[in-house]
Amino acid sequence: MTPILLRIMLVVGLALVVSVIVLTRRAWLPGIGHGLPSIWRIAKITVAEARRRRVLQAVIALVILILLSMTAFSYLSPQEQAKMVIDGGLAAITVFGILLAIFVAAFLIPNEVENRTVYAILAKPVRRSEFVLGKYLGALIVLAAMVAVMTVVLVGVLVTLDHLIKDQAGSSFNPNLAAVVLAAVMSYCSLAVLTALIVLISTVSSTTMTVIAALIIWAVGSLQSQIYVLAESNGGAAKLFLLVLYYLVPHLENFDYRFQAANFVAISVPSAIGAVIVGIGYTLVVLVVASIFFSDRQV
């Protein structure tokens, strides 16, 4: 795309967003004072509910075991060991993060509707959009805690190995901890985007379909650059289909900094900020659509 076209899109897009916000201010502005506490309360109860679910605790314990087992690569050179531990650790955080996101988010709203616990909440002065946002925020908090635990364990393993290897003469491990933590944080951001999508899908379909769709979206989202390249070399209906896929599915690759962390390559901060902006924008769109769908859903 030409720079001028991109600028036009940016201006038009921002103009649309601002005008919609201004036009609808009478609808949403008065409700903020009551809405935000309701969202927070629903988030808190979601977190409290998740804390009592044994399956999440079991998954976290399993991940910790896997991270601790990364110390088994001691027969490799320090550089190889560093790469293996960082690669494996970040991959474990990503894989299990996705599983946790699915466990937490796919059952959020469908469970409430199936168990009919949503009746007592919606009978209170709580908007459906506040309910969706509260549930999403709760899921985010749960995921943040879990990713934080896994990251702390990974950093602990790296620091411990660093100390052990430094004790051996002439060796160096030197894990790039800042890059590892940043890669984990970006991984969490991708989970946040994925969770929003899972919540959206769960408002209109069953739990099984939600889980399947989440896995497909994650796979497609991780291969967006491939889709872009394929779209470049195709034409007609195939190109259109690929472009639609490219623009609708989130760009989860933007948040993938595992290569940089494992190979000690410098991370571009502007690209990380750009990725977060794209993530926030996309999540906003998804949550607006989820709120609209849920508002029209008959429970």
- Interacting residues with other proteins between 175 and 214 (CB under 8 A): none
Q: Does 22 bind other proteins (CB under 8 A)?
A: no
Distance of CA 193 to the CA centre of its chain: 4
Distance CA 38, CA 218 (A): 31
Among residues 43, 64, 94, 203, the one that binds other proteins under rule CB under 8 A: 94
Among residues 48, 148, 238, 240, the one that binds other proteins under rule CB under 8 A: 48
Q: Does 24 bind other proteins (CB under 8 A)?
A: yes
Q: Does 62 bind other proteins (CB under 8 A)?
A: no
Q: Which is nearer to other proteins, 149 or 293 (CB)?
A: 293
Q: How far is the CB of 284 from other proteins (least distance, A)?
A: 6
Who contacts 46 (Cβ-Cβ below 8 Å, separation ≥6)? 108, 134, 135, 137, 138, 139, 141, 142
Among residues 195, 217, 254, 294, the one that binds other proteins under rule CB under 8 A: 254
Length of the chain: 299
DSSP 8-state class, residue 233? T
- Interacting residues with other proteins between 256 and 285 (CB under 8 A): 258-260, 262-263, 265, 268, 270-271, 274-275, 277-278, 281-282, 284-285
Q: Which is nearer to other proteins, 23 or 169 (CB)?
A: 23
- Rounded to a whole number, what is the distance in angstroms from the first to the last CA of the chain? 44
Q: How far is the CB of 252 from other proteins (least distance, A)?
A: 8
DSSP 8-state class, residue 101? H
Q: CA torsion, points 131, 134, 139, 144, in degrees to nearest 10?
A: 170
Q: Does 216 bind other proteins (CB under 8 A)?
A: no
Q: State phi, psi for 264 to the nearest 5 degrees.
A: 60, 40
